[in-house]
Structures are given as C-alpha cells and as structure tokens.
Structure 1
C-alpha cells in the first residue's frame, strides 16, 4: 500500500472562510468520515492530527426535493418523479428514466449533439419550462456525493446514473476545454472527478435549469480576496509546499485578516475558483497572484482509495483538473 505520509507533492494552499453575504452556497461534499494517511479514523478534535479535513465540517449539507412533471413537490418516498431540485443551489435537474424516451439513462451523444437534446426538452416544455440547458462543469459537480462511489451520487434522487470504474462513461458539461477546440469537460460518476474528452465521445447528458452563478472577486486589501458569488474568503499569497497533514494543521492554526476560522477548502470549494476559460494556469492571477501550474490540496479524501487525497491540478494548457492524486506522484 502506498502511504501518503511519505508523499511530497508540490501544492498551493488556498484557505477559505465563509462570510455572511448574499451568495449561492456550495453544497457540502457529503463526506462525514475521517481518515489519516492509510485508514479510516474517528474524526479528530481540534489540536489532534488530521483535524480540519472534510469530515470535520458539515456546511450546507446536500438536500434534494423530488418534483413531478408539473413541478409540484413530491415526498421523498415517491416512486416516480420527473425532476429534482437541489435545495442548496436552487438548480432543478432532469431525472433520468429507463423507458426509451429522450430522458432514458442510456441516451448518449457527442458534445455537439447535446444541443439537439436540450432543444427537444425546451420544445416539449418539459416540466412546464423552456429554459433547460446543459450544466457547467462546476454545476455538474455540485451533485457529486464524495462520500459515495460507483456511483458518486445520491441514487435515492438520481437513480439510473450511468457510471463505470473508468472514464469510458460520463456526463457532458457545457464547459469547453480552454486550450483545445475539440475537447470539453465531463464527469464520470464512478468516482465523480472532473475530466476532459474529445467532443466526439458519446456520453450522457443531464439537463438543468436555473440561474447561472453570478458575481466576481473583491480584493480586501488585507491578504485575502472574497468571491462574491459563493461568499467564501480566500487567502492570497505565494504558494507553499507541504504534506496534506501539515496543510490541515497550517490552515486550522492560521490567523489572518481578523479571522481565526480558516480551513483547507473542500474539493468543490477549491474548484469554484478554477477559471475554465483560462490556461497556464486555469485561474485568474489578477486575484490570485503567484498561482502556478501545480497541485492544490483540498480537505476531501478520495472514496476510491483511502490513502489518496483529492486535489486540483492547474496545469499548462489546462490539460486536466483532476480530483485524484495520480499514482506516479505518490512516493513509497
């Protein structure tokens, strides 16, 4: 077994703290268990090793509501439903079926073909609405449940989600690949990480409706920057390199800009500052100067292998923003 205690990975540490603003919250990842470098452990208390990981915090926990074909609320026990409302983000998602219709879970197409799929939903006024669209990659990841695997989604509300142990199946997003006109971002729901593929690949598509995230960054002139879209405050500054355990400890002990409740971000929070329209690096360096092409720790562990910790790589040409620590980067 590869042990992360012996791993040295170049990282950039971005610490966040929630602030009280009117913004769209980021759903919790769903993780409630805690881990050290090799195994599950009781969730640590402040001051103990590995405190500050994802399982220590539950902020805006996932919450869903089933809706019928007219948009009426159904009980959680309903056996059939047409749509699902994410009560944290307010977005409404298409439910997949197994009936051979346009909603069938096995319907797959190339990225270019998703436009016809969305048009068909809108022409039919599915659910009484004509504003269905393909989700952005960040929106699509908002329904990933990182406490689950195979599939990494709550099947009580999203049954029939196509998945595999590889990237051979997944769901398209509307987000193009910044440095390649022939690729786009998708999520394989086996483990829920973000990946890219040639636009000719045949993947599933799940429609969404609701307003897109709006907002921007605000420099607080104190070594921090606030994302007005999510209400999160981030540390600015030069990157540091350390192990995951050291990063958790550093974040928990940080006192900055009058706050002492800093923490290492979850994987979904970390992705919220990725700018998929940019490359080398895929982030706005006007707000995050010194951010280079490297790996970035999150507080979230990887359900597929307990000794992996979820990270983002902001890479030259934005080749991949991957949730998983690649084996080649793990020392033994």
Structure 2
C-alpha cells in the first residue's frame, strides 16, 4: 500500500493532519484520520452558501452587506469514517457514534441499554451530552414544509429517521435526546431533557414524561463513546474584556455591548469590533456559540443566564413585564425552514426560551435552547409570538463576538 496523497491544512483553531491511504490495485480509500491538539474542537456547520435577508446571494466582499456570515469562515470541516460495524468515527472530535438508533425508547430504557450494549466490539457506550450530540449538526439541512426534508446530519454516514405519520406523528418528530437534563422546568412545570432535532434543526428541552398521563416520553438515542473531555470548557479571563476557552481555541467577548440588532447589522457590528487589541472579531456560528452555554445554570435555578459567571449578559424585561430574563443572541448560521427558507437565522437563549401557551408566558424550551428568528423586520412589530409553542420572537437580538486564537 502506497500513500497516494498527503494534504496538510492549518486552521486558526488547531492543526490538522488529514491523509488518505489509497490502495494501488483498486484505488479504494482505506483510511482517513484527523489529528487535533484540542480536547473540544468545534466541527464546522457545513454551510457554504451565502444569504441576505430572504435569498441566496453571491459571496460578499469585506465591507459589503452580509459579510461575516457562516460561510465566510471555514472552520474544522466535518470528517467521518464508516467503520463497517454499525459505528461511525468523527475524525475531528474523536467521538465514535452509533450509526443506526433503532426505535424510540424512554430515557430510563436508554440508561439500561448502555449498560448492556455491545456494538463494534465495544461496551463502553454512553448517552451523549447535548454538546456531544450537537457536534453532529449540519446547518445545510432544510424543512421544506411539504412532507420532505434535508436532514441536519450527514446521511451518508448516519441513519436518521423522521416521524411516523401513520401513527399521527409529524415528519419532524425525529428528535434525539441527550443525557443533559434541564436544571429548571419547562412549560407547566415539566421535567425536561435537552435534545437536538436533526430533522428540523432546533435544540430544545423536551418533556421527560407525557403531560397528559405522566408516562415516560420516548425519543431516539444515538449512543457515543470516546473523548470524554469533549464539551468541557477551560476558560481563562484575559483581563481585557475577553475570555479564552483553551479547550476550543476560541476567544470570546466577555460582555455584550447592551445593544440589539437585526441580523445584517449584527454581522456588521461583529466585523467592526476592536477589543483586547484584536480587530479580527466575528459573529460565531451556531456550534461555536453553543460551546459556551452552561447547561448547569438557568434563571430559575441559579438566578443567572446559562453561561459561566466569567461572562455577563444584559438582562431584559420579558413580554409580561417581568425582570430576570435575558435576551437572545444571534449566530451567523442560517436555519432553512418552510416555503421561504432563507429568511431566518439561528439564535441561542441564554435566558428562558419563552413562548405563550394557553395565554401564559412560559419557559417552553429551557435556557440553552437554540431556535431561529427572522433576520429582519420592522422593530415596532416585535416582539411577537410564533409557532405551536408561541415562541417569543425578538428579531433584534444581542451579539457575543468570537475570534480564533492564533
């Protein structure tokens, strides 16, 4: 066997050695490996298209409107190996995944399953944390709204079911649970577990038990093994208004500037920021921003946003006039959804993910949820409510900028 090609690429986050071993006889690629010196490398979102407020556009240049969005910056590109034994290795994170999740099960059944599962001759499987699970997310997915979807996961490697419409489920009812329980309560006092929906691209807290009768809810579970440090931050306060996460290789703006923006102006603000003697700040993509969510905190349990106390978030008054809420934070990533898929972008809730149900303002999805807002609109028309859980949409959201540590 000869090495037919060697490709070396250097990112600002980490150094990767990517190589393929190619068989002379049939040209089949035998092995691919990615080596990184970080315990928590953020896998890119796979986004390569550029958008304005409602359409695909050509790539903006520096100084143009909409410069600095997700596709402007190329991070640690997704790389997987199908091991041929029902497992898939993520060559960036070092995590090994169950390829086919099987049927929906309860959380308690999932806990029992990992004690006995033997897959790929490994028995050290576990339920993933929400940060581990989110590492698989692709933001090139799309919910068309016409009984068809492009998944938010690489379906060349992973089996991803949709909801079973023959038993009354929606196509989007293919949510995958993590082991990360919400420290607060959602909706009408329901215990919740965070999960990611690889069918519609949203991260939420889902009720652990059915509100109607208290029986266990069931979801999909994709088990994981390896790299037990993945998802653990290692923050350092630089004393200049910036925080470095030595686990991810990212440097963060310690405090937002207290102002809110529509998506276009949020991008411009981030690209124009100078802080800590650095001027290469940008708006984070969805997976980068999720990396600094602290799922052990929430306004209802720690009287704080869901982020490490080294950071600060601007408090706001919610739509019922109550204090103790925190605004939403834009990301540079799109969320394609519905008949006009280009109008929305992803945001994270470091405060309660509020919505109106039965005329009551509730924390419907949990602090640390990821949803989406229209990129633009008349400021006088917001906040409003949208969707089956009456999600509060602000549209004019906060920004927390990021840069790569050189």
Question: Normalising by the residue count of structure 1, what TM-score does the alignment of the two structures yield?
Answer: 0.81
1:70-85 to structure 2, matched below 5 A, reads: 82-85=86-89
The equivalent residue for 1:47 is 63
2:90 to 82, 86, 91: 86
Conserved? CA contact 2:307–2:350, under 8 Å = no
* Structure with more contact order per residue of length (Cα contacts < 8 Å, sep ≥ 6): 1
1:130 to 98, 120, 123: 123
Conserved? CA contact 1:166–1:188, under 8 Å = no
> For residues 351 and 394 of structure 2, what CA distance do their matches in structure 1 show?
18
The equivalent residue for 2:105 is 109
Structure with the largest fraction of strand: 2
2:235 to 213, 217, 229: 217
What do the CA deviations read for 1:231-277 (whole angstroms, capped 9, x no partner)? Answer: 11001124321111111111112222222211100011111111111
Moved runs in structure 1, 4+ residues, more than 6 A? none
> For residues 183 and 283 of structure 1, what CA distance do their matches in structure 2 show?
15
> For residues 216 and 291 of structure 1, what CA distance do their matches in structure 2 show?
23
1:272 to 291, 306, 309: 291
Paired residues, what number?
Answer: 291
Provide the secondary structure at the position in 2 that maps to 1:269.
helix
- The structure number with the bigger radius of gyration is 2
Conserved? CA contact 1:23–1:231, under 8 Å = no
Structure 2 unaligned segments of length 5 or more: list them: 1-10, 15-36, 143-148, 164-169, 209-215, 316-325, 353-362, 374-384, 387-391, 396-406
Q: How far did residue 315 of structure 1 move?
A: 2.2
> For residues 194 and 284 of structure 1, what CA distance do their matches in structure 2 show?
16
Cα-Cα RMSD: 2.2
Provide the secondary structure at the position in 2 that maps to 1:26.
coil
> For residues 106 and 314 of structure 2, what CA distance do their matches in structure 1 show?
34
> For residues 253 and 394 of structure 2, what CA distance do their matches in structure 1 show?
27
Conserved? CA contact 1:19–1:233, under 8 Å = no
Q: How far did residue 167 of structure 1 move?
A: 5.2
What do the CA deviations read for 1:51-90 (whole angstroms, capped 9, x no partner)? Answer: 0000111111111111033xxxxxxxxxxxx111111111
